[in-house]
A = this chain, B = another copy of it.
Amino acid sequence: MPPKKATDQLQTTCATCALTQFCLPMGLTERELKDLEALVKHRRIFSRGEILHQPGDFFQNFYAIRAGAVKSVTINTAGNEQVFGFYLPGEVIGFEAISTQKYPHSIIALTETSICELPFTHLMQMSKTHSGLQHQLLALASQRLTIDTCIHFTDTQQRVIAFLLNVSARLNRSAGLKRIFDLPMSRHDIGNHLGLAMETISRIIHHLKRQGLLAVHHRSIELLKIPALKALATGNK
């Protein structure tokens, strides 16, 4: 069940949302789910380029991505952007802000993006009585710690393939990799995030295409030989 378009999502409840088994509701009892639902403050749509929050903004809400995608960035003093990561449907923004009470990054919508806003203090209050929620909050923070292993690969091609497989898996949370998908972010953003030039991303993807490992048309990707791609990503050249 793929997430619907951003604009279709405004009336959905947690119980009827396609992402209910991956997002915050996961593992919650029916009762807990109903209470969580009551706690959702806003459902909002951001259009491409809009900023959800800036670094230093006081941390008040989690944002659960319902449809679309955002990037997490900072701008350094020299004016250069630094892409820290991406958030895809079902993923929750805010964990990195808990300890300092301030968001550390800018969150910018990459496409039309629909989100659910959840007040943190209410969530914490609720999780005192709802132990399923308490566990799920930690589990989501945990997931976030291991979600993005691509940056750690030394080999450039490995990094790019691992990134593509990572996005594919995250877009298809239920079962394995999504074979056909659209990258929500630009080559520039991918490059920045992986510490590579945009042109290098382009060339590596082209190379994989020529080898018949995937089909590409701009941001649309089809993984053709998943086992081979996996093998390359884990370092078996």
Contact = CB atoms under 8 A, between A and B. Distances in A.
Contacts of A134: 124, 127-128, 134
Nearest to A104: B146
**Most B-side CB within 10 Å, residue of A77, A95, A99, A140:** A99
Interface in A144-170: 144-146, 149, 151-154
A77 B237 CA distance: 10
Contacts of A131: 124, 128
A76 interface: yes
Q: How many copies does the complex hold?
A: 2
Contacts of A195: 152, 154, 195
B192 A154 contact: yes
A80 B142 contact: no
Contacts of A104: 146
B135 A124 contact: yes
Interface in A221-237: 234-237
Q: How many of chain A's residues touch chain B, expressed as a range?
A: 35 or more
A140 B236 contact: no
Interface string A77-111: 11010111000000000011111100010000000
A24 interface: no
A220 interface: no
Given A134-B128, A138-B138, A139-B98, A154 B78 contact: no
Given A128-B134, A146-B104, A195-B195, A77 B234 contact: yes
A65 interface: no
Interface string A198-237: 0000000000000000000000000000000000001111
A174 interface: no
Given A76-B234, A77-B236, A235-B78, A141 B145 contact: yes
A131 B128 CA distance: 7
Given A95-B145, A99-B143, 7 more contacts: A76-B235, A78-B235, A82-B153, A99-B140, A124-B134, A138-B138, A145-B145
15 contacts: A77-B234, A78-B235, A78-B236, A78-B237, A84-B152, A95-B138, A96-B142, A96-B145, A97-B142, A99-B143, A124-B131, A128-B131, A138-B138, A138-B141, A154-B195
